[in-house]
Amino acid sequence: MANLFKDLPHLLGTITNLDGAQSMRALVSINAELKRRQRLFAENDVNHINQYQKKYKLGEVSEPMPHLFLISDEFAELKTNQPDFMKELVSTARIGRSLGIHLILATQKPSGVVDDQIWSNSRFKLALKVADRSDSMEMLKTPDAAEITQVGRGYLQVGNNEVYELFQSAWSGADYQPDKDEQGIEDHTIYAINDIGQYEILNEDLSGLDQAESIKEVPSELQAIVGKLKALTERLSIQALPQPWLPPLPSRLFVEDLRDEAELTWSGFNEELEVILGLLDKPSQQAQEPLSINLSQDGHLLMYGAPATGKTTFLQTTVLDLARHYSPSELHIYLMDFGTSGLVPMGDLPHVADVFLLDQGEKIGKFIRLLEKEINRRKKLLTEHRVGTLSMYRQLTGQVEPRIVIALDSFESMKDESFEAELLKLLTRISREGQAIGLHLVVTASRQANLRATFYSNFKHQLTLKQHDKTEVRSVVGATGLADIEDIKGRALYKGEEVYSLQLALPLRVEHDIELVDQMREEVSRQKAAWTGQVPEAIPMVPEELTREDFLSRASVQKAIASGQIPLGLDLETVEAVSVEVEKVNNILVLSEQISALESVIYHFSVVSNRLYPKGHVLVVDASDEFDYLRDLSDVYINSGLSHQLFEQMFTELSNRKSNPKDTETFIIIPDLGVFLEKFTSKAEEFKQLYLEGPKHGLHFVIAATKAQLFKTDAIVKTIKEDISFALIAMRLYDQSVVPHKEVSREERLNTDEMYLYNKEKYTKVKILSNKD
């Protein structure tokens, strides 16, 4: 029925779907219209619509207020499906009668549908032909309507039979042909009326319509009247009145539809960090408006939703909208993609410092430590200048500290990961302290029950997409009639002054969702090309396999070599060279519980001391003849056949250096302490003298030993253990007791190309060269 009146100027709106949220939306809109009329009545000191309309005609008020008719076709179905809605609708119409709000209800069978409240508030009753006497008695208290035989014939009853008349309703569906008589068109069809009153055509159709090439469609009288009224309204320039309710939220909209400026706006400094999320539906205010969240004032955002409802798209919209309106000098972004890799395509934005995936535990650990330091630094900065917020600090000093946004997709996915406890601790701290120092969280999760209250209670803005269980929706936004969210991707609820429906915007204008990733990559490339300034630094990570070329090419390694130090590896935390001044090192113990790990460290040390250290001189004592691969990395290689000459040669070298000091530092590498002990146990005193005096004159022992070998009661072992000030440890610190430590049993095991550098009770975990290099 609604389509018949779509062009009627008097029609303010139609509702064809009253399921779930739409029914409540319509009711809220009607109540809002009722309040609007009450407000206008109060402002103009009237209490009835007739008085108000009289003032309008006299020009005493400027805002028109027509009578509003709410028409429900086949309201029996509405009452069955939405009983509460129907009850509220009748109640609203009763209250609004003096305000010019009227209700017209139509049904085929009133019995069991029309209740006492409807009867008591219905002064006018019209009954056309009904099915049986009981329906007529229900409607008119007489059987008359059941005895009607003609189409369109009916009874009008006003009040308690104050008026009771039989009438013939007009048929508006006839063809509208005002010049039919002038055209001389006559109907020559002959009909026979049978026993049951039906018309039967007796003669042949001679109109020729079956042979006509085109037939002109004739409008119905209803269409003609609607068209005439529409044309008259346009000719008189009568402005359309605002609708009591706006059209439903679109199922698809884009950020550029909601912003005046959707292009890059990187000029100047924006004090407030605002983001557009989508379009809010406010039926109680008879309005629809964009939802803008000010992160600088409100802190953080948290979105819940069942799978495939639009959580990742929400993050994409948020990140890209922020990136368009805040330059990389004032906004840094970290993307934590624990979901379906929907954030990865934005990783090349000039604002994005880094992207974290769920299997990057080491990288996430570094991020946690980095952010903890940054939080402490910013808090100290504000304390020193005696201000409470980053904005006040900028106004006082003129210095700009970039805002940091952490976008995290699929919060629950980090459960049981090694970094879960530390990351949750960091995120909770940011949710509590971050707003004042310019750190903001934008997080998605499936259910509020999966999060700790100490975390989510710090979020001012918590939104929810559709959930499988409506109680999950109510736990986020509170009690609401909108909990049954429409099954539209991106449809959400937002709690402001009250609970509103929200349609989230797509970040880019695309016809199909499959095009979004390609369009996103193009947008990212465009922003990357447009920015020529400094970008935020990524989390430093060592390569999976450190080659000699890679190691040597690094600036920190070159700097160490230039300053006369040995670069022993890359710090796993800072990815900077870890180097030592050889003059400050006595002897070096290489410790592990696995021979393969010892071999990796010895290989690495041989390379860096011989090839990367200009003053390095390497002497390898291979008493077992199993380390022939070190021959090419040494200046002197002593195998088992020559090892008996070792101590004689070493004492000669020591004597020469005492009388004639040299610039070179000689490293005496013993790759297998076990074999060395078997051959030289009788030389314990000579070894002790060389071990203690040699470092003073540039002779340093580098001894590779297993944990078991250092438990032997041997004089040489005793000498080694009594003077451990520098060690390369290729095992968990917890698993050894040779050097002191504070590690616990959950310490991770080292890879074969990792080690601890122990230097006077200080530990540094480093990456070393791969022995495959």
User: Is 479 annotated as belonging to a binding site?
Assistant: no
The angle subtended at Cα 373 by Cα 372 and Cα 379, nearest 5°, is 90
Beta strands in 28-118 (DSSP E): 68-73, 101-106
3-state SS assignment for residue 228? helix
**Can you tell me the distance from the alpha carbon of 154 to that of 166, in angstroms, rounded to the nearest whole number?**
6
User: Are 717 and 578 spatial neighbours (Cβ–Cβ below 8 Å)?
Assistant: no
> What are the helix and strand counts (H, E) for the chain?
23, 27
And the tokens for 48?
Answer: 């009835």
- The catalytic position among 43, 60, 63, 74 is 74
3-state SS assignment for residue 102? strand
User: Are 11 and 5 spatial neighbours (Cβ–Cβ below 8 Å)?
Assistant: yes
Report in angstroms the alpha-carbon separations of 286 from 27, 29, 247, 268: 12, 6, 10, 36
User: Is 55 annotated as belonging to a binding site?
Assistant: no
User: Is 110 annotated as belonging to a binding site?
Assistant: no
User: Are 500 and 494 spatial neighbours (Cβ–Cβ below 8 Å)?
Assistant: yes
**Can you tell me the distance from the alpha carbon of 135 to that of 496, in angstroms, rounded to the nearest whole number?**
48
**Pure H helices in 623-693:** 646-659, 673-680, 684-693
Other Cβ atoms closer than 10 A to 182: 8
User: Is 309 annotated as belonging to a binding site?
Assistant: yes
Q: Is the dihedral of CA 711, 715, 718, 720 positive or negative?
A: negative
In sequence order, the 6+-apart residues with CB closer than 8 A to the CB of 181 are none
In sequence order, the 6+-apart residues with CB closer than 8 A to the CB of 13 are 243, 244, 245, 247
And the tokens for 716?
Answer: 């040489």
User: Are 563 and 751 spatial neighbours (Cβ–Cβ below 8 Å)?
Assistant: no
Question: 669: part of which helix (H) or strand (E)?
Answer: strand 665-670
- Tokens 């959930």 belong to 467
Angle between helices 311-325 and 516-530 (to 10 degrees): 20
74: annotated active-site residue: yes
And the tokens for 517?
Answer: 């990733």
In sequence order, the 6+-apart residues with CB closer than 8 A to the CB of 722 are none
In sequence order, the 6+-apart residues with CB closer than 8 A to the CB of 547 are 769, 770, 773
User: Is 219 annotated as belonging to a binding site?
Assistant: no
The angle subtended at Cα 579 by Cα 577 and Cα 582, nearest 5°, is 165
**Can you tell me the distance from the alpha carbon of 629 to that of 373, in angstroms, rounded to the nearest whole number?**
44
User: Is 308 annotated as belonging to a binding site?
Assistant: yes
User: Is 305 annotated as belonging to a binding site?
Assistant: yes
**Can you tell me the distance from the alpha carbon of 672 to that of 196, in angstroms, rounded to the nearest whole number?**
117
Q: Is the dihedral of CA 146, 148, 154, 158 positive or negative?
A: negative
Report in angstroms the alpha-carbon separations of 129 from 104, 126, 151, 698: 18, 10, 8, 118
In sequence order, the 6+-apart residues with CB closer than 8 A to the CB of 39 are none
**Can you tell me the distance from the alpha carbon of 157 to that of 48, in angstroms, rounded to the nearest whole number?**
25
User: Is 310 annotated as belonging to a binding site?
Assistant: yes
Positions marked active-site: 74
Annotation: binding site for ATP? 305-312
Annotation: binding site? 305-312
